[in-house]
Amino acid sequence: EVASADLSLYSLRKYTPETDTSKSRAARFPLALANTILNRRFEVLSKEEGTAILSGGAGRTVMFNMIEQGGIEVTPAEGKWKEAVPVLEQELRRVVSFGFTQAELEEAKARFLNMAEQAVKRKDTRRSDGIAMGLINAIGQKNVFTTPEDELALAKSALEKLTVEDCHKAFNEFWDTQDLSLVLTTREAPENTKEELKNIFIESAKTELNAPEQKDLATFGYTDFGSAGTVVTTNPVEDLGATQLVLSNNVRVNYKQTDFQKNSIGVTAVFGAGQLSQPADT
């Protein structure tokens, strides 16, 4: 009944709760940034022609204040779980062997800071249930419930002095264990799959790897859209509080402003007739 195959590498260890302080939170940033960079690498690989994976990611989770779990997962492309195993093994080993580039770290830092800054801008329109769950989780885990401003200040302070060496060290210390579980989830389990899975992983470890290429951060490429068009027709929809527009390039726009989420814009684009025109067999 699973929608797609899943390939996971897990590391489990005992977790000893620590007092929640700004220092203990800052200490988690190096591993968090390392996982963010590895996630970005999987994202790039998933978009390559003929790729063996549809997605991938790394993370750390604490369960029941007792267990610390590290995980790296990839979703294989249809029928390609065997090809996906070396992708997982080699990207993990590439990080362990070579670490990260400065450009990768700067991009990851920017992502973290942007999320923290957006949280501050949207704090007045946070959902009540989200705040309630945040309070419940803080109580259950004996943590301090902090404001978005506090979290932004902590992120700025921690990220300012963070280096690629810090992230590399944190990642290697976390994965410095032979106690690993490799799990393949599929719709069917043919005979010898267990041995085949293990053998592919071990064989992949013999492959020589190259260090990640050092690249400069590119300039944002979407700043010039040419001459502005015009609005051809405007149709207010009074009962919905919305407006329908037809633009000079024949694009139709349904526009509605709300106060649900401050400093946020949601966009949905539909091409042609959408799923109505999509052949049933695809």
Least-confidence region, from 61-70, 127-136, 160-169, 234-243: 61-70
Least-confidence region, from 121-130, 157-166, 214-223: 214-223
Contact 33, 162 (CB under 8 A): yes
Contact 56, 88 (CB under 8 A): yes
Percent share of the chain, pLDDT over 70: 100
Q: How confident is the model at residue 114 (pLDDT cuts 50, 70, 90)?
A: very high
- φ, ψ of residue 120 in degrees (nearest 5): -65, -45
pLDDT of residue 40: 96
* Segment 39-52 mean pLDDT: 96
**What does the pLDDT look like over 240-278, one tens digit per residue?**
999 999 999 989 999 999 988 888 899 998 877 777 788
Nearest Cα neighbor of 74 from 32, 46, 37 is 46
**What does the pLDDT look like over 176-209, one tens digit per residue?**
988 899 999 998 887 889 999 999 999 999 999 9
pLDDT of residue 280: 83
**What does the pLDDT look like over 203-240, one tens digit per residue?**
999 999 999 988 877 788 889 988 999 999 999 999 99
